[in-house]
Amino acid sequence: MLSLTGLGKTYAGGVQALAGFTLDARPGEIVAVIGGSGCGKSTLLRLIGGLDTPTTGTVSINGETVEQPHPLINLIFQEPRLLPWLSVCDNVGFGLAHLPRAEQVLRINEALCRVNLEAYGDRLPKALSGGQAQRVAIARALVTRPEVLLLDEPFSALDALTRETLQQHLLDIWSETQATMILVTHDIDEAVSLAHRVIVMKPWPGRILDEIVIARPHQRGGADFDQARARVRSALNHSLSASAPADIRKGRAQHSSVLETSP
Amino acid sequence: MTIGAAEAGLGAGVGDGRADTAAVSRRASWLRPSAGGWGGALIRFALAVALPLGAFLFWELAVDSGLASGRLVPPPSRILATLADLWTAGQLADHIASTCLRVLLGFLAGAAAGALAGSLTGYFRFVHAAVDPTLQALRAIPSIAWVPLFILWFGIFETSKVVLIATGVFFPVYLGVSTALLSVDRKIVEVGRIFRLSGFDLVRRILFPAVLPAFIVSLRAGLGLGWMFVVAAEFMGASEGLGYLLVDGQQLGKPDQIMAAILIFAVIGKLSDALLVGATAPLIAWQDNFSRGGL
Protein backbone atom coordinates (compact mmCIF):
# COMPACT_ATOMS: atom_id res chain seq x y z
CA MET A 1 0.00 0.00 0.00
CA LEU A 2 1.42 3.37 -1.07
CA SER A 3 0.30 6.31 1.05
CA LEU A 4 1.00 9.96 0.39
CA THR A 5 -0.04 12.32 3.16
CA GLY A 6 -0.12 16.10 2.76
CA LEU A 7 2.83 15.96 0.40
CA GLY A 8 4.32 19.34 -0.50
CA LYS A 9 7.49 20.62 -2.10
CA THR A 10 8.84 24.16 -2.19
CA TYR A 11 12.05 24.59 -4.14
CA ALA A 12 14.84 26.98 -3.26
CA GLY A 13 13.73 30.42 -4.38
CA GLY A 14 10.26 29.91 -2.99
CA VAL A 15 8.65 28.13 -5.96
CA GLN A 16 5.92 25.94 -4.52
CA ALA A 17 5.63 22.98 -6.89
CA LEU A 18 3.27 20.80 -4.87
CA ALA A 19 1.00 21.34 -1.87
CA GLY A 20 -1.14 19.09 0.32
CA PHE A 21 -1.15 16.07 -1.97
CA THR A 22 -2.84 13.12 -0.29
CA LEU A 23 -3.40 9.77 -1.97
CA ASP A 24 -3.70 6.12 -1.01
CA ALA A 25 -3.02 3.69 -3.84
CA ARG A 26 -4.24 0.14 -3.27
CA PRO A 27 -1.92 -2.74 -4.13
CA GLY A 28 -2.26 -3.43 -7.86
CA GLU A 29 -4.02 -0.15 -8.60
CA ILE A 30 -3.06 1.97 -11.62
CA VAL A 31 -3.42 5.67 -10.83
CA ALA A 32 -2.95 8.15 -13.67
CA VAL A 33 -1.96 11.69 -12.78
CA ILE A 34 -2.79 14.25 -15.45
CA GLY A 35 -2.41 17.99 -15.70
CA GLY A 36 -0.72 20.73 -17.67
CA SER A 37 2.97 21.52 -17.50
CA GLY A 38 4.15 22.90 -14.19
CA CYS A 39 1.44 21.40 -12.03
CA GLY A 40 3.94 19.32 -10.06
CA LYS A 41 3.40 15.91 -11.65
CA SER A 42 7.10 15.12 -12.08
CA THR A 43 7.86 16.58 -8.65
CA LEU A 44 5.29 14.18 -7.21
CA LEU A 45 7.05 11.17 -8.76
CA ARG A 46 10.47 12.42 -7.65
CA LEU A 47 9.19 12.66 -4.08
CA ILE A 48 7.65 9.16 -4.16
CA GLY A 49 10.83 7.81 -5.78
CA GLY A 50 12.97 9.33 -3.03
CA LEU A 51 14.98 11.49 -5.47
CA ASP A 52 13.78 14.66 -3.71
CA THR A 53 12.80 15.27 -0.10
CA PRO A 54 9.32 16.66 0.58
CA THR A 55 9.06 20.01 2.33
CA THR A 56 5.87 18.86 4.04
CA GLY A 57 4.06 15.54 4.42
CA THR A 58 5.24 11.97 4.03
CA VAL A 59 5.46 9.12 1.56
CA SER A 60 5.10 5.64 2.98
CA ILE A 61 5.00 2.15 1.57
CA ASN A 62 3.49 -0.65 3.68
CA GLY A 63 3.70 1.70 6.65
CA GLU A 64 7.41 2.44 6.17
CA THR A 65 8.33 6.09 5.52
CA VAL A 66 10.23 6.68 2.28
CA GLU A 67 12.99 9.27 2.57
CA GLN A 68 15.34 8.01 -0.11
CA PRO A 69 15.08 5.59 -3.04
CA HIS A 70 13.34 2.46 -1.77
CA PRO A 71 13.92 -1.12 -3.00
CA LEU A 72 10.17 -1.67 -3.51
CA ILE A 73 9.72 1.46 -5.62
CA ASN A 74 11.12 1.96 -9.11
CA LEU A 75 10.82 4.80 -11.57
CA ILE A 76 10.59 4.76 -15.36
CA PHE A 77 11.61 8.13 -16.75
CA GLN A 78 10.31 10.01 -19.76
CA GLU A 79 13.52 9.12 -21.65
CA PRO A 80 14.96 5.60 -21.44
CA ARG A 81 18.13 6.83 -19.64
CA LEU A 82 19.98 3.63 -20.54
CA LEU A 83 23.65 3.55 -19.66
CA PRO A 84 25.29 3.72 -23.10
CA TRP A 85 28.38 1.70 -22.09
CA LEU A 86 26.36 -1.34 -20.98
CA SER A 87 24.72 -3.95 -23.20
CA VAL A 88 20.94 -4.38 -23.06
CA CYS A 89 21.41 -7.34 -20.65
CA ASP A 90 23.69 -5.36 -18.35
CA ASN A 91 21.33 -2.39 -18.41
CA VAL A 92 18.40 -4.59 -17.47
CA GLY A 93 20.44 -6.27 -14.72
CA PHE A 94 21.79 -2.96 -13.39
CA GLY A 95 19.84 -3.15 -10.15
CA LEU A 96 20.66 -6.80 -9.46
CA ALA A 97 24.33 -6.58 -8.49
CA HIS A 98 23.55 -7.88 -5.00
CA LEU A 99 22.15 -11.18 -6.33
CA PRO A 100 24.08 -14.33 -7.36
CA ARG A 101 24.97 -14.41 -11.08
CA ALA A 102 22.61 -17.31 -11.90
CA GLU A 103 19.65 -15.47 -10.34
CA GLN A 104 20.60 -12.31 -12.24
CA VAL A 105 20.62 -14.16 -15.58
CA LEU A 106 17.27 -15.74 -14.80
CA ARG A 107 15.61 -12.44 -13.95
CA ILE A 108 17.18 -10.57 -16.88
CA ASN A 109 15.92 -13.20 -19.35
CA GLU A 110 12.49 -13.15 -17.77
CA ALA A 111 12.28 -9.34 -17.99
CA LEU A 112 13.56 -9.27 -21.58
CA CYS A 113 10.92 -11.86 -22.55
CA ARG A 114 8.22 -9.71 -20.95
CA VAL A 115 9.12 -6.80 -23.22
CA ASN A 116 9.77 -9.03 -26.27
CA LEU A 117 13.46 -8.17 -26.50
CA GLU A 118 15.05 -11.54 -25.72
CA ALA A 119 17.03 -11.42 -29.00
CA TYR A 120 18.54 -8.02 -28.21
CA GLY A 121 20.47 -8.83 -25.03
CA ASP A 122 23.95 -8.33 -26.49
CA ARG A 123 23.21 -5.06 -28.25
CA LEU A 124 24.41 -1.68 -27.10
CA PRO A 125 21.78 1.03 -26.50
CA LYS A 126 23.03 2.95 -29.55
CA ALA A 127 21.73 0.10 -31.75
CA LEU A 128 18.14 0.34 -30.42
CA SER A 129 15.17 2.33 -31.67
CA GLY A 130 13.37 4.72 -29.31
CA GLY A 131 10.62 2.21 -28.58
CA GLN A 132 13.07 -0.64 -27.97
CA ALA A 133 15.15 1.54 -25.64
CA GLN A 134 12.07 2.44 -23.62
CA ARG A 135 11.15 -1.25 -23.40
CA VAL A 136 14.64 -1.96 -22.02
CA ALA A 137 14.05 0.80 -19.47
CA ILE A 138 10.77 -0.88 -18.48
CA ALA A 139 12.55 -4.25 -18.18
CA ARG A 140 15.25 -2.61 -16.04
CA ALA A 141 12.62 -1.34 -13.63
CA LEU A 142 10.67 -4.62 -13.58
CA VAL A 143 13.66 -6.83 -12.89
CA THR A 144 13.88 -5.69 -9.27
CA ARG A 145 10.21 -6.75 -8.83
CA PRO A 146 9.00 -3.46 -7.42
CA GLU A 147 5.67 -3.21 -5.63
CA VAL A 148 5.26 0.34 -6.86
CA LEU A 149 6.18 1.40 -10.38
CA LEU A 150 6.32 5.13 -11.11
CA LEU A 151 6.02 6.13 -14.76
CA ASP A 152 6.89 9.68 -15.77
CA GLU A 153 5.30 10.18 -19.20
CA PRO A 154 7.07 7.03 -20.37
CA PHE A 155 5.60 6.96 -23.88
CA SER A 156 5.41 10.65 -24.70
CA ALA A 157 8.47 10.65 -26.96
CA LEU A 158 7.26 7.70 -29.07
CA ASP A 159 5.21 7.53 -32.24
CA ALA A 160 1.49 6.71 -31.94
CA LEU A 161 1.80 3.08 -33.01
CA THR A 162 4.72 2.27 -30.72
CA ARG A 163 2.94 4.09 -27.92
CA GLU A 164 -0.15 1.91 -28.25
CA THR A 165 1.94 -1.27 -28.39
CA LEU A 166 3.85 -0.29 -25.26
CA GLN A 167 0.65 0.68 -23.43
CA GLN A 168 -0.65 -2.82 -24.14
CA HIS A 169 2.70 -4.25 -22.95
CA LEU A 170 2.33 -2.28 -19.75
CA LEU A 171 -1.15 -3.68 -19.13
CA ASP A 172 0.14 -7.23 -19.77
CA ILE A 173 2.98 -6.63 -17.34
CA TRP A 174 0.57 -5.22 -14.79
CA SER A 175 -1.73 -8.25 -15.06
CA GLU A 176 1.28 -10.52 -14.41
CA THR A 177 2.99 -8.53 -11.67
CA GLN A 178 0.03 -6.72 -10.08
CA ALA A 179 2.33 -3.82 -9.25
CA THR A 180 0.85 -0.52 -8.11
CA MET A 181 1.49 2.00 -10.87
CA ILE A 182 1.49 5.77 -10.69
CA LEU A 183 1.42 6.99 -14.27
CA VAL A 184 2.07 10.65 -14.99
CA THR A 185 0.86 11.63 -18.43
CA HIS A 186 -0.28 14.47 -20.65
CA ASP A 187 -2.44 12.19 -22.72
CA ILE A 188 -6.12 11.88 -21.73
CA ASP A 189 -6.60 8.67 -23.76
CA GLU A 190 -3.59 7.06 -22.16
CA ALA A 191 -4.82 7.96 -18.68
CA VAL A 192 -8.35 6.71 -19.30
CA SER A 193 -7.36 3.50 -21.09
CA LEU A 194 -4.73 2.40 -18.57
CA ALA A 195 -5.82 3.63 -15.16
CA HIS A 196 -8.34 2.60 -12.53
CA ARG A 197 -8.35 6.15 -11.24
CA VAL A 198 -7.39 9.43 -12.87
CA ILE A 199 -6.20 12.33 -10.72
CA VAL A 200 -6.45 15.71 -12.43
CA MET A 201 -4.03 18.26 -11.03
CA LYS A 202 -4.19 22.00 -10.81
CA PRO A 203 -1.10 24.23 -10.96
CA TRP A 204 0.46 27.01 -8.82
CA PRO A 205 0.98 25.16 -6.56
CA GLY A 206 0.32 21.63 -7.82
CA ARG A 207 -2.63 20.04 -6.03
CA ILE A 208 -5.52 17.66 -6.70
CA LEU A 209 -8.43 19.21 -8.59
CA ASP A 210 -10.53 16.17 -9.34
CA GLU A 211 -10.45 12.42 -9.02
CA ILE A 212 -12.24 10.23 -11.56
CA VAL A 213 -12.72 6.53 -10.97
CA ILE A 214 -12.71 4.55 -14.20
CA ALA A 215 -14.85 1.43 -14.46
CA ARG A 216 -12.79 -1.48 -15.74
CA PRO A 217 -12.61 -3.44 -17.90
CA HIS A 218 -13.55 -1.10 -20.68
CA GLN A 219 -12.77 -0.91 -24.33
CA ARG A 220 -11.08 2.00 -25.99
CA GLY A 221 -13.71 3.70 -28.15
CA GLY A 222 -16.66 2.28 -26.14
CA ALA A 223 -19.35 4.39 -24.45
CA ASP A 224 -17.78 4.08 -20.96
CA PHE A 225 -14.46 5.11 -22.33
CA ASP A 226 -15.88 8.20 -24.08
CA GLN A 227 -17.77 9.21 -20.95
CA ALA A 228 -14.70 8.91 -18.75
CA ARG A 229 -12.63 10.77 -21.31
CA ALA A 230 -15.15 13.62 -21.43
CA ARG A 231 -15.05 13.92 -17.63
CA VAL A 232 -11.27 13.99 -17.51
CA ARG A 233 -11.14 16.52 -20.34
CA SER A 234 -13.61 18.79 -18.65
CA ALA A 235 -11.68 18.66 -15.37
CA LEU A 236 -8.44 19.25 -17.20
CA ASN A 237 -9.82 22.31 -19.01
CA HIS A 238 -10.90 23.67 -15.68
CA SER A 239 -7.43 22.99 -14.28
CA LEU A 240 -5.68 24.73 -17.14
CA SER A 241 -7.81 27.87 -17.02
CA ALA A 242 -8.06 28.20 -13.24
CA SER A 243 -5.97 30.13 -10.79
CA ALA A 244 -3.25 31.15 -13.23
CA PRO A 245 -1.90 34.67 -13.34
CA ALA A 246 -3.42 36.46 -16.36
CA ASP A 247 -0.31 36.39 -18.56
CA ILE A 248 0.33 32.70 -17.91
CA ARG A 249 -3.35 31.88 -18.44
CA LYS A 250 -3.09 33.39 -21.92
CA GLY A 251 -0.26 30.97 -22.78
CA ARG A 252 -2.16 28.11 -21.16
CA ALA A 253 -5.24 28.68 -23.32
CA GLN A 254 -3.24 27.64 -26.38
CA HIS A 255 -1.93 24.59 -24.56
CA SER A 256 -5.47 23.63 -23.57
CA SER A 257 -6.69 23.69 -27.14
CA VAL A 258 -3.80 21.42 -28.17
CA LEU A 259 -4.85 18.92 -25.53
CA GLU A 260 -8.45 19.09 -26.59
CA THR A 261 -7.69 18.30 -30.18
CA SER A 262 -5.39 15.41 -29.32
CA PRO A 263 -6.89 12.08 -30.44
CA MET B 1 4.57 16.71 -73.10
CA THR B 2 1.81 14.71 -71.43
CA ILE B 3 1.47 14.63 -67.69
CA GLY B 4 2.63 11.01 -67.73
CA ALA B 5 5.74 11.96 -69.68
CA ALA B 6 6.39 14.84 -67.31
CA GLU B 7 6.12 12.50 -64.37
CA ALA B 8 8.41 10.05 -66.08
CA GLY B 9 10.89 12.82 -66.71
CA LEU B 10 10.61 14.00 -63.12
CA GLY B 11 11.01 10.42 -61.95
CA ALA B 12 14.13 10.05 -64.05
CA GLY B 13 15.45 13.30 -62.66
CA VAL B 14 14.86 12.19 -59.09
CA GLY B 15 16.42 8.84 -59.92
CA ASP B 16 19.51 10.57 -61.30
CA GLY B 17 19.71 12.75 -58.25
CA ARG B 18 19.68 9.68 -56.05
CA ALA B 19 22.33 8.06 -58.20
CA ASP B 20 24.51 11.17 -57.82
CA THR B 21 24.07 11.18 -54.07
CA ALA B 22 24.89 7.50 -53.93
CA ALA B 23 28.00 8.08 -56.03
CA VAL B 24 29.14 10.89 -53.72
CA SER B 25 28.59 8.76 -50.64
CA ARG B 26 30.42 5.84 -52.32
CA ARG B 27 33.26 8.12 -53.28
CA ALA B 28 33.67 9.32 -49.72
CA SER B 29 32.87 6.12 -47.86
CA TRP B 30 36.45 4.82 -47.82
CA LEU B 31 37.47 7.95 -45.90
CA ARG B 32 35.45 6.92 -42.89
CA PRO B 33 37.57 5.30 -40.21
CA SER B 34 35.05 2.47 -40.11
CA ALA B 35 35.53 1.66 -43.81
CA GLY B 36 36.83 -1.87 -43.72
CA GLY B 37 39.33 -3.76 -45.86
CA TRP B 38 42.95 -3.28 -46.70
CA GLY B 39 42.03 -1.22 -49.78
CA GLY B 40 40.39 1.51 -47.71
CA ALA B 41 43.22 1.52 -45.16
CA LEU B 42 45.81 1.78 -47.92
CA ILE B 43 44.04 4.70 -49.60
CA ARG B 44 43.71 6.54 -46.28
CA PHE B 45 47.41 5.96 -45.53
CA ALA B 46 48.43 7.17 -49.01
CA LEU B 47 46.31 10.31 -48.54
CA ALA B 48 47.85 10.96 -45.12
CA VAL B 49 51.48 10.73 -46.29
CA ALA B 50 50.98 12.48 -49.64
CA LEU B 51 51.48 16.00 -48.23
CA PRO B 52 54.74 15.43 -46.26
CA LEU B 53 56.20 13.18 -48.99
CA GLY B 54 55.32 15.76 -51.64
CA ALA B 55 57.02 18.50 -49.61
CA PHE B 56 60.12 16.33 -49.11
CA LEU B 57 60.30 15.51 -52.80
CA PHE B 58 59.93 19.17 -53.75
CA TRP B 59 62.76 20.22 -51.42
CA GLU B 60 64.99 17.35 -52.54
CA LEU B 61 64.57 18.36 -56.19
CA ALA B 62 65.04 22.05 -55.35
CA VAL B 63 68.40 21.37 -53.66
CA ASP B 64 69.42 18.77 -56.23
CA SER B 65 68.84 21.14 -59.14
CA GLY B 66 70.75 23.94 -57.41
CA LEU B 67 67.70 26.20 -56.88
CA ALA B 68 68.40 26.14 -53.13
CA SER B 69 71.63 25.56 -51.25
CA GLY B 70 70.22 23.28 -48.58
CA ARG B 71 72.86 24.49 -46.09
CA LEU B 72 70.48 25.59 -43.32
CA VAL B 73 67.52 23.46 -44.47
CA PRO B 74 69.11 20.17 -45.54
CA PRO B 75 67.30 17.98 -48.10
CA PRO B 76 65.61 14.75 -46.93
CA SER B 77 68.41 12.58 -48.34
CA ARG B 78 70.97 14.30 -46.07
CA ILE B 79 68.66 13.97 -43.03
CA LEU B 80 68.21 10.26 -43.75
CA ALA B 81 71.97 9.83 -44.13
CA THR B 82 72.49 11.54 -40.75
CA LEU B 83 69.88 9.25 -39.20
CA ALA B 84 71.65 6.23 -40.68
CA ASP B 85 75.02 7.45 -39.35
CA LEU B 86 73.63 8.03 -35.87
CA TRP B 87 71.96 4.60 -35.95
CA THR B 88 75.12 2.73 -37.09
CA ALA B 89 77.22 4.58 -34.53
CA GLY B 90 74.87 3.02 -31.97
CA GLN B 91 73.83 6.33 -30.41
CA LEU B 92 70.40 6.86 -31.85
CA ALA B 93 68.67 3.96 -30.08
CA ASP B 94 70.08 5.20 -26.73
CA HIS B 95 68.89 8.76 -27.39
CA ILE B 96 65.41 7.56 -28.33
CA ALA B 97 65.25 5.15 -25.39
CA SER B 98 66.22 7.72 -22.78
CA THR B 99 63.76 10.31 -24.14
CA CYS B 100 60.96 7.74 -24.30
CA LEU B 101 61.69 6.57 -20.74
CA ARG B 102 61.54 10.16 -19.43
CA VAL B 103 58.23 10.78 -21.22
CA LEU B 104 56.81 7.47 -20.00
CA LEU B 105 57.72 8.10 -16.34
CA GLY B 106 56.59 11.73 -16.46
CA PHE B 107 53.38 10.75 -18.24
CA LEU B 108 52.52 8.03 -15.74
CA ALA B 109 53.22 10.26 -12.73
CA GLY B 110 51.48 13.33 -14.20
CA ALA B 111 48.44 11.39 -15.44
CA ALA B 112 48.00 9.58 -12.12
CA ALA B 113 48.27 12.82 -10.13
CA GLY B 114 46.02 14.67 -12.60
CA ALA B 115 43.37 11.94 -12.52
CA LEU B 116 43.42 11.83 -8.71
CA ALA B 117 43.24 15.62 -8.28
CA GLY B 118 40.61 15.89 -11.03
CA SER B 119 38.50 13.19 -9.40
CA LEU B 120 38.64 14.84 -5.99
CA THR B 121 37.79 18.33 -7.26
CA GLY B 122 35.12 16.97 -9.61
CA TYR B 123 33.41 14.85 -6.95
CA PHE B 124 33.70 16.95 -3.80
CA ARG B 125 32.39 20.51 -4.09
CA PHE B 126 34.38 21.61 -1.08
CA VAL B 127 37.68 20.34 -2.52
CA HIS B 128 36.85 22.05 -5.81
CA ALA B 129 36.21 25.37 -4.09
CA ALA B 130 39.36 25.04 -2.01
CA VAL B 131 41.84 23.67 -4.54
CA ASP B 132 40.73 24.47 -8.10
CA PRO B 133 41.50 28.23 -8.07
CA THR B 134 45.09 27.55 -6.96
CA LEU B 135 45.58 24.84 -9.57
CA GLN B 136 44.17 27.10 -12.28
CA ALA B 137 46.66 29.81 -11.27
CA LEU B 138 49.52 27.28 -11.37
CA ARG B 139 48.29 26.12 -14.79
CA ALA B 140 48.79 29.62 -16.14
CA ILE B 141 52.54 29.52 -15.38
CA PRO B 142 54.62 28.89 -18.54
CA SER B 143 56.47 25.58 -18.37
CA ILE B 144 59.94 27.05 -18.81
CA ALA B 145 59.42 29.18 -15.69
CA TRP B 146 59.60 26.02 -13.58
CA VAL B 147 62.99 24.93 -14.94
CA PRO B 148 65.32 26.91 -12.66
CA LEU B 149 63.25 26.02 -9.60
CA PHE B 150 63.12 22.31 -10.43
CA ILE B 151 66.90 22.26 -10.97
CA LEU B 152 67.38 23.84 -7.53
CA TRP B 153 64.94 21.43 -5.91
CA PHE B 154 65.65 18.18 -7.73
CA GLY B 155 69.14 18.62 -9.18
CA ILE B 156 70.28 18.52 -12.76
CA PHE B 157 69.75 14.81 -13.39
CA GLU B 158 66.70 12.66 -14.11
CA THR B 159 64.33 13.66 -11.29
CA SER B 160 63.97 17.28 -12.36
CA LYS B 161 63.31 16.23 -15.96
CA VAL B 162 60.63 13.70 -15.02
CA VAL B 163 58.99 16.19 -12.64
CA LEU B 164 58.88 18.85 -15.36
CA ILE B 165 57.26 16.43 -17.82
CA ALA B 166 54.82 15.26 -15.14
CA THR B 167 53.90 18.91 -14.50
CA GLY B 168 53.09 19.33 -18.18
CA VAL B 169 50.97 16.17 -18.28
CA PHE B 170 49.20 16.92 -15.00
CA PHE B 171 47.19 19.97 -16.04
CA PRO B 172 45.33 18.72 -19.13
CA VAL B 173 44.50 15.47 -17.34
CA TYR B 174 43.38 17.32 -14.21
CA LEU B 175 41.23 19.74 -16.21
CA GLY B 176 39.77 16.96 -18.37
CA VAL B 177 38.75 14.71 -15.47
CA SER B 178 37.50 17.50 -13.22
CA THR B 179 35.42 19.15 -15.95
CA ALA B 180 34.04 15.82 -17.18
CA LEU B 181 32.94 14.83 -13.66
CA LEU B 182 31.26 18.17 -13.11
CA SER B 183 29.35 17.79 -16.36
CA VAL B 184 28.14 14.18 -16.00
CA ASP B 185 24.47 14.13 -17.00
CA ARG B 186 22.27 14.45 -13.88
CA LYS B 187 19.79 12.12 -15.52
CA ILE B 188 22.07 9.09 -15.55
CA VAL B 189 23.24 9.84 -12.01
CA GLU B 190 19.57 9.66 -11.02
CA VAL B 191 19.37 6.19 -12.57
CA GLY B 192 22.14 5.19 -10.18
CA ARG B 193 20.31 6.82 -7.28
CA ILE B 194 17.01 5.10 -8.04
CA PHE B 195 18.94 1.81 -7.72
CA ARG B 196 20.31 3.11 -4.41
CA LEU B 197 23.94 3.49 -5.52
CA SER B 198 26.05 5.90 -3.53
CA GLY B 199 29.65 6.71 -2.79
CA PHE B 200 32.16 4.32 -4.32
CA ASP B 201 29.54 2.26 -6.21
CA LEU B 202 28.17 5.39 -7.87
CA VAL B 203 31.70 6.37 -8.91
CA ARG B 204 32.59 2.88 -10.18
CA ARG B 205 29.36 2.07 -12.01
CA ILE B 206 28.18 5.47 -13.28
CA LEU B 207 30.68 8.31 -12.94
CA PHE B 208 33.86 6.52 -14.07
CA PRO B 209 32.39 5.02 -17.26
CA ALA B 210 30.66 8.33 -18.01
CA VAL B 211 33.89 10.35 -17.84
CA LEU B 212 36.07 7.72 -19.55
CA PRO B 213 35.87 9.24 -23.07
CA ALA B 214 36.85 12.70 -21.75
CA PHE B 215 39.58 11.09 -19.59
CA ILE B 216 41.09 9.41 -22.65
CA VAL B 217 41.04 12.68 -24.62
CA SER B 218 42.78 14.39 -21.69
CA LEU B 219 45.41 11.61 -21.62
CA ARG B 220 46.09 12.23 -25.30
CA ALA B 221 46.43 15.97 -24.68
CA GLY B 222 48.70 15.17 -21.69
CA LEU B 223 50.87 12.85 -23.74
CA GLY B 224 51.25 15.53 -26.42
CA LEU B 225 52.40 18.01 -23.77
CA GLY B 226 54.70 15.33 -22.36
CA TRP B 227 56.57 15.24 -25.68
CA MET B 228 56.69 19.04 -25.66
CA PHE B 229 58.02 19.23 -22.12
CA VAL B 230 60.68 16.55 -22.63
CA VAL B 231 62.47 18.95 -24.99
CA ALA B 232 62.42 21.67 -22.34
CA ALA B 233 63.58 19.08 -19.81
CA GLU B 234 66.46 17.89 -22.00
CA PHE B 235 67.54 21.47 -22.66
CA MET B 236 68.27 21.59 -18.91
CA GLY B 237 71.58 19.87 -19.54
CA ALA B 238 71.06 16.31 -20.65
CA SER B 239 73.92 14.22 -21.98
CA GLU B 240 71.62 12.01 -24.01
CA GLY B 241 68.15 12.11 -25.48
CA LEU B 242 66.58 13.64 -28.56
CA GLY B 243 66.54 17.07 -26.89
CA TYR B 244 70.29 16.72 -26.40
CA LEU B 245 70.64 16.00 -30.16
CA LEU B 246 68.81 19.28 -30.83
CA VAL B 247 71.11 21.33 -28.56
CA ASP B 248 74.20 19.53 -29.85
CA GLY B 249 73.13 20.15 -33.45
CA GLN B 250 72.63 23.85 -32.76
CA GLN B 251 75.98 24.27 -30.96
CA LEU B 252 77.96 22.39 -33.61
CA GLY B 253 76.05 23.85 -36.56
CA LYS B 254 74.50 20.58 -37.74
CA PRO B 255 71.00 21.40 -39.06
CA ASP B 256 70.67 17.89 -40.48
CA GLN B 257 71.02 16.45 -36.94
CA ILE B 258 68.43 18.92 -35.62
CA MET B 259 65.99 17.99 -38.36
CA ALA B 260 66.68 14.29 -37.86
CA ALA B 261 65.78 14.68 -34.15
CA ILE B 262 62.64 16.69 -35.05
CA LEU B 263 61.62 13.97 -37.50
CA ILE B 264 61.99 11.30 -34.82
CA PHE B 265 59.92 13.40 -32.40
CA ALA B 266 57.18 13.60 -35.02
CA VAL B 267 57.26 9.86 -35.67
CA ILE B 268 57.39 8.60 -32.06
CA GLY B 269 54.94 11.29 -30.90
CA LYS B 270 52.45 10.13 -33.51
CA LEU B 271 53.18 6.45 -32.76
CA SER B 272 52.68 6.87 -29.02
CA ASP B 273 49.39 8.69 -29.61
CA ALA B 274 48.23 5.95 -32.01
CA LEU B 275 49.19 3.35 -29.39
CA LEU B 276 47.14 5.17 -26.73
CA VAL B 277 44.17 5.54 -29.08
CA GLY B 278 44.39 1.89 -30.16
CA ALA B 279 44.70 0.60 -26.59
CA THR B 280 41.76 2.64 -25.31
CA ALA B 281 39.44 2.33 -28.35
CA PRO B 282 37.73 -0.87 -27.11
CA LEU B 283 36.88 0.88 -23.82
CA ILE B 284 34.82 3.56 -25.56
CA ALA B 285 33.40 1.57 -28.47
CA TRP B 286 29.94 2.10 -26.95
CA GLN B 287 29.93 5.77 -27.92
CA ASP B 288 27.31 6.69 -30.49
CA ASN B 289 29.62 8.83 -32.57
CA PHE B 290 28.99 11.11 -35.44
CA SER B 291 30.82 9.61 -38.44
CA ARG B 292 31.66 12.17 -41.02
CA GLY B 293 30.38 11.49 -44.48
CA GLY B 294 31.55 13.19 -47.66
CA LEU B 295 34.85 14.84 -48.40
| Domains in chain A, CATH or no CATH each | 2-72+147-261 (3.40.50.300), 84-145 (no CATH)
The CATH number of the domain covering residues in B103-284: 1.10.3720.10
Spans of chain B below 50 pLDDT: 1-21, 24, 292-295
Q: Which residues lie closer than 8 Å to B243 by C-beta, 6 or more apart?
A: B99, B230, B231, B232, B233, B234, B235, B261
- pLDDT at residue number A12: 85
- pLDDT at residue number A246: 46
- Considering only CB atoms, A84 lies closest to which of B190, B195, B288, namely B288
At B35, which helix (H) or strand (E)?
Answer: none
Backbone angles phi, psi at B165, to 5 degrees: -65, -45
With CA atoms as reference, the chain B residue closest to A76 would be B191
- pLDDT at residue number B103: 95
Query: Would the CB atoms of A69 and B209 count as touching at under 8 Å?
Result: no
* Average pLDDT taken over every residue of chain A: 84
- pLDDT at residue number B9: 40
CA distance A126 to chain B (A): 6
Spans of chain A below 50 pLDDT: 246-263
CA distance B281 to chain A (A): 13
Dist. CA A137–CA A93, nearest whole Å: 11
Query: Would the CB atoms of A81 and B286 count as touching at under 8 Å?
Result: no
- pLDDT at residue number A215: 76
- pLDDT at residue number B100: 95
Query: Would the CB atoms of A84 and B287 count as touching at under 8 Å?
Result: yes
- pLDDT at residue number A205: 84
3-state secondary structure A147-176: CEEEEECCCCCCCHHHHHHHHHHHHHHHHH
3-state secondary structure B219-270: HHHHHHHHHHHHHHHHHCCCCCCHHHHHHHHHHCCCHHHHHHHHHHHHHHHH
- pLDDT at residue number A17: 87
Dist. CA B232–CA B225, nearest whole Å: 11
- Is the separation of the CB atoms in A79 and A86 below 8 Å? no
Q: Could you report how far apart the first and last alpha carbons of chain B are, in Å?
A: 39
